[in-house]
A and B are shown apart, each in its own frame.
Chain A
Amino acid sequence: MTLDMLPPRRRAEIVAVDWSVLAPEEAKRLQAMGIDTGARVAIAHRGIFAGRDPIALSIGRMTVALRRSHARAMTVELR
């Protein structure tokens, strides 16, 4: 399952990330924020407009907003 399909407030672990579909700067930023393989995440909020984009990801004690297009590059497993 990719991260964009994860139901809200369900905890999951990122098991794989396809960095090749992301811009290098974006990949760098996500990694610096700890959004990487092995990270425990949950979707806290989703936007209102078409595609319910962007999403707010809770990771540790941090909340990070990102687009569904980023989330689609990440494979997660429920924990």
Chain B
Amino acid sequence: MTRLRSAALVGNPNSGKSALFNALTGARQKIANYPGVTVERKAGRLVLPTGEPVELFDLPGSYALDAASPDEEVTRKVVLGEFPGEPKPDVLVIVLDAANLEQHLVFAQELIELGRPTVAALNMIDLAERDGLVIDAAALEQSLGIPVIPTVAVRKRGLEALLEVIESAEVHAEQDPKDHRRAHLTLPERRLAARHMANGAIISENAVHRLNARLDKVLLHPWLGPPILFALLFVIFQAVFAWSTPFADALDGAVSGLIDLANASLPAGFARDLLTQGVLSGVGSVVVFLPQILILFAFILVMEQSGYMARAAFIMDRLMAYVGLSGRSFIPLLSSFACAIPGIMATRAIADPKDRLTTILIAPLMTCSARLPVYAVVIGAFIPATSVGPGIGLQGLVLFALYLFGIVGAMVAALVLRRTATKGAASGFIMELPRYQWPPLRDLVIGLWQRAWVFLRRAGTIIFSVTVVLWLLLTFPQAAPGESQVEASFAGKIADGLEVIVRPIGFNHEIALALIPAMAAREVAVSSLATTYAVDASNDDAAAAGLVPQLQARWTLPTALAFLVWFVFAPQCLSTIAVARRETNGWKWPVFMLAYLFGLAYVFAGLTYWLAVAAGL
């Protein structure tokens, strides 16, 4: 008889919890949200030495059970078994940073006082050794009264021993429940006890973290730090374009191959057209951007896992303070470059409610990866691939300018919002700067895999269905001979209405058409254009030539530029609106967000168009 037991990893932020979770569960993870809140719920399965499976949870990092943020609130409730619908974990696995014992033992004592089956992982013992610390795990085990296992999650050291104590922890607890009735200490008492225990467990110690201090001396240097950060951001955006090209071309070739194969092997008719013109050209045109999205996420993950992200927040804090935010907003905003949804969810780490609301409202102005397909196609079609300096391509520069435009727009928006809609006290900034470490390859791969999966699932569901619906709207009713299919279709009629509004800012009929399905997901704009032009193409050769020549033939440069600027501001993503609604508990702020972003998009796209036309472009 096997009983599914559950265990939870608990500990301070920066204790290497997630790395340990990845090492224990491998790729067998389920990432979802806790019901009602948007705190990420990470569950996985580990197998005990007996072969018994255990459900393992990775709880948000906390400094104490006395919660100061929604994240910590979840940890407290799950640990105490007060979270509705969540199992109370049978075993608590405290994750301690071996090099930061005095701090981490404070929360550990609070957890042990609960009297539950508890074990501890003395994690990142290798980094402690690097810092010149030698720690006696047995002494710590004695003073804490629970099993303490030294582990190095990234090298899978100590995992088997940890599994063994998890397995026996519950048994022990059942045998002598009285043993766990401990006195409850106050915070200063716990702190004092933590210092004694840490001192007792540290056998030898030489000067404080040298490597760390040396790196910080450069990376947090008042004059070197900011240029290094901005140079890194510039390299990221250049890399997103340059490195991805061969992979994107390969994917593009594969999609074209599939279209040719379908055309050659299937009988002509409705089903074949739906497959080639609808599904393959629509979904295919979005999937080719997977390499770019993965490269961007790879940089963000490396920055997070290496400990540099917190330094970036430190450097950015003062600049953010000018617009009424703090360095804490930098991390959600940088994540929003990948996708506004994890970005908005990451705002939970911001304690101040006004600060958090402002960050949520401006997060969609950060150019998310869904806009990358749109930018990439239009830049590829209209901006020549010339070099404007050593290693600096014009296309990359335009892309960088678009990102910068979004950032500046966001800063100005924050400044205005903090003085009007989200007026409140100035925000603070308190944040631990974790020690630097080499980003573990396994955690990087797992992180990238999860991002790729989310993107492909979107491509397989939302983008797939939107593309098919759009194709149907474009195909029916059938045009009379001599009439344009797009003009005759249902979609053409809808776009006629919208076109009246967007014509002044230089948008043509096809763009008006693409804006409708782009509400579901921004990148659909590309597949919509691809589908529209594929349906409209007079012959198969034109359709097979792809989207870029079609755009070059049908759009002017001012229209293309206005289209790019529109996407800097337009909040075209239903998922973002939905997440904003959930995070702000109501429709008031999402509606406000929609209105102000569409307003900005219209005005700035218009200005771009009129100025470009006036300049004779």
Which residues of A are at the interface with B, using a C-beta cutoff of 8 A? 22-23, 25-26, 28-34, 36, 38, 44-54, 56, 58, 60-67, 69-70
Cβ distance B351 to chain A, nearest Cβ, rounded Å: 4
- B41 part of interface (Cβ distance < 8 Å): no
Kindly name the residue among B187, B220, B315 whose own CB sees the greatest number of chain A CB atoms within 10 A: B220
B321 & A53 in contact (Cβ 8 Å cutoff): yes
Specify which chain A residues have a CB less than 8 angstroms from the CB of B351 in the assembled complex. 23, 25-26, 29
Specify which chain B residues have a CB less than 8 angstroms from the CB of A58 in the assembled complex. 208
**Could you mark each residue 419-439 of chain B with 1 if its beta carbon is under 8 Å from any beta carbon of chain A, else 0?**
000000110111111000000
* With contact pairs A62-B100, A64-B431 given, residues A48 and B64 touching in the complex (Cβ less than 8 Å): no
8 new A-B contacts at CB < 8 Å, known A32-B68, A56-B220, A67-B430:
A25-B351, A30-B430, A31-B187, A48-B318, A54-B327, A56-B216, A66-B429, A70-B430
Specify which chain A residues have a CB less than 8 angstroms from the CB of B431 in the assembled complex. 64-66
* With contact pairs A34-B106, A64-B432 given, residues A48 and B327 touching in the complex (Cβ less than 8 Å): no
Closest to A37 in B: B188
Specify which chain A residues have a CB less than 8 angstroms from the CB of B430 in the assembled complex. 26, 29-30, 33, 64-67, 70
Specify which chain B residues have a CB less than 8 angstroms from the CB of A67 in the assembled complex. 317, 321, 326, 428-430
Interface residues of B in 182-208 (CB under 8 A from A): 187-188, 191, 208
Specify which chain B residues have a CB less than 8 angstroms from the CB of A65 in the assembled complex. 310, 313-314, 317, 327, 429-433
Kindly name the residue among B106, B351, B430, B433 whose own CB sees the greatest number of chain A CB atoms within 10 A: B430
* With contact pairs A61-B102, A65-B433 given, residues A33 and B315 touching in the complex (Cβ less than 8 Å): no
Kindly name the residue among B66, B103, B327 whose own CB sees the greatest number of chain A CB atoms within 10 A: B103
Cβ distance B300 to chain A, nearest Cβ, rounded Å: 20
B222 & A25 in contact (Cβ 8 Å cutoff): no
The 6 closest A-B pairs by CB, nearest first: A32-B63, A49-B318, A48-B222, A63-B433, A45-B220, A25-B351
Specify which chain A residues have a CB less than 8 angstroms from the CB of B433 in the assembled complex. 56, 63-65
A48 & B225 in contact (Cβ 8 Å cutoff): yes
B314 & A62 in contact (Cβ 8 Å cutoff): no
Q: How far is the CA of A6 from the CA of B17 in the complex (A)?
A: 34
Specify which chain A residues have a CB less than 8 angstroms from the CB of B544 in the assembled complex. none
Specify which chain A residues have a CB less than 8 angstroms from the CB of B582 in the assembled complex. none
A29 & B429 in contact (Cβ 8 Å cutoff): no
Q: How far is the CA of A18 from the CA of B100 in the complex (A)?
A: 27
Closest to B326 in A: A67
Specify which chain A residues have a CB less than 8 angstroms from the CB of B208 in the assembled complex. 58, 61
Specify which chain A residues have a CB less than 8 angstroms from the CB of B220 in the assembled complex. 45, 56
- B536 part of interface (Cβ distance < 8 Å): no
- B209 part of interface (Cβ distance < 8 Å): yes
Cβ distance A74 to chain B, nearest Cβ, rounded Å: 13
Specify which chain A residues have a CB less than 8 angstroms from the CB of B223 in the assembled complex. 48
Kindly name the residue among A31, A32, A49, A52 whose own CB sees the greatest number of chain B CB atoms within 10 A: A32
Q: How far is the CA of A33 from the CA of B66 in the complex (A)?
A: 13
Q: How far is the CA of A61 from the CA of B51 in the complex (A)?
A: 39
Specify which chain A residues have a CB less than 8 angstroms from the CB of B327 in the assembled complex. 54, 65
* With contact pairs A33-B63, A54-B314 given, residues A23 and B352 touching in the complex (Cβ less than 8 Å): yes
**Cβ contact of A60, chosen from B102, B222, B310, B326, cutoff 8 A:** B102
Q: How far is the CA of A46 from the CA of B187 in the complex (A)?
A: 29
Closest to A45 in B: B220
Specify which chain A residues have a CB less than 8 angstroms from the CB of B529 in the assembled complex. none
- B26 part of interface (Cβ distance < 8 Å): no
A61 & B429 in contact (Cβ 8 Å cutoff): no
- B514 part of interface (Cβ distance < 8 Å): no
A46 & B222 in contact (Cβ 8 Å cutoff): yes
Interface residues of B in 82-116 (CB under 8 A from A): 99-100, 102-103, 106-107
B103 & A61 in contact (Cβ 8 Å cutoff): yes
Q: How far is the CA of A36 from the CA of B216 in the complex (A)?
A: 25
Specify which chain B residues have a CB less than 8 angstroms from the CB of A51 in the assembled complex. 318
Cβ distance B526 to chain A, nearest Cβ, rounded Å: 40
A34 & B222 in contact (Cβ 8 Å cutoff): no
- B226 part of interface (Cβ distance < 8 Å): yes
Specify which chain A residues have a CB less than 8 angstroms from the CB of B216 in the assembled complex. 44-45, 56, 63
What are 14 A-B contacts with C-beta separation under 8 Å?
A: A23-B428, A32-B66, A33-B63, A34-B191, A47-B314, A48-B315, A53-B321, A58-B208, A61-B100, A62-B100, A62-B432, A63-B212, A64-B432, A65-B433
**Could you mark each residue 308-351 of chain B with 1 if its beta carbon is under 8 Å from any beta carbon of chain A, else 0?**
00100111011101000011000000000000000000000001
Cβ distance A44 to chain B, nearest Cβ, rounded Å: 7
A50 & B318 in contact (Cβ 8 Å cutoff): yes
Q: How far is the CA of A65 from the CA of B327 in the complex (A)?
A: 10
Specify which chain B residues have a CB less than 8 angstroms from the CB of A33 in the assembled complex. 63, 103, 430, 432
B429 & A28 in contact (Cβ 8 Å cutoff): no
Cβ distance A60 to chain B, nearest Cβ, rounded Å: 5
Closest to B69 in A: A25
Specify which chain B residues have a CB less than 8 angstroms from the CB of A48 in the assembled complex. 222-223, 225-226, 315, 318
Cβ distance A50 to chain B, nearest Cβ, rounded Å: 7
Closest to A25 in B: B351
Specify which chain A residues have a CB less than 8 angstroms from the CB of B107 in the assembled complex. 32
* With contact pairs A48-B318, A53-B317, A65-B317 given, residues A26 and B428 touching in the complex (Cβ less than 8 Å): yes
Cβ distance B344 to chain A, nearest Cβ, rounded Å: 20
